[in-house]
Amino acid sequence: MQPTTSQSLCVRSRKVWIVGLIASAILPFFGIKFGPLLKLKQEVDSVVDTVEDVAEVIEKVAEEVQIVDKEIAEHLPAGGKLKVVATFIENVAETTDKDARLAEDVIDKVIPNKYPFLSLSA
């Protein structure tokens, strides 16, 4: 004998009620355990964002220093001490620019690949 429609609905609603009861008893424990991890993730995201911002600023400043220094170096006499210093500053700015770009690339490539749970897109 097959159960009637009202009996099958009653059995289903009991199953749903039991699952809901179990879930409501278990889920708060997950929230307590994941809470510190979520806070850590937020802090790491904040630090990574700050490092990216600093790297971008350093890159922009180094580019501007290169431009200004190049213009100044063009107007200095060849072989003079000021020309040597200007060329040195231009080389340092160029190296700093490359290093800042490298730091940004490392952040953009390594963090998502090595630590996917720290995905930067929130």
What DSSP character marks residue 120?
S
Q: Which residue carries 């995201």 as its tokens? A: 45
Q: For residues 90 and 78, what is the distance between their CA atoms, to the nearest angstrom?
A: 15
Q: For residues 95 and 71, what is the distance between their CA atoms, to the nearest angstrom?
A: 18
pLDDT in tens, 81-117: 888 888 888 888 888 888 888 888 887 777 766 666 5
Q: For residues 98 and 9, what is the distance between their CA atoms, to the nearest angstrom?
A: 68
Q: Which conformational region is residue 79 in: left (phi greater than 0), alpha (psi within -120 to 50 degrees), or beta?
A: left
Q: Strand, helix or coil at 2?
A: coil
pTM: 0.55
Is the pLDDT at 121 greater than 70? The verdict is no
Is the pLDDT at 11 greater than 80? The verdict is no
CATH number of 5-118: 1.10.287.950
CA pseudo-torsion sign 118, 119, 120, 122 = negative
Could you tell me where the DSSP H helices lie in 75-118? 81-114
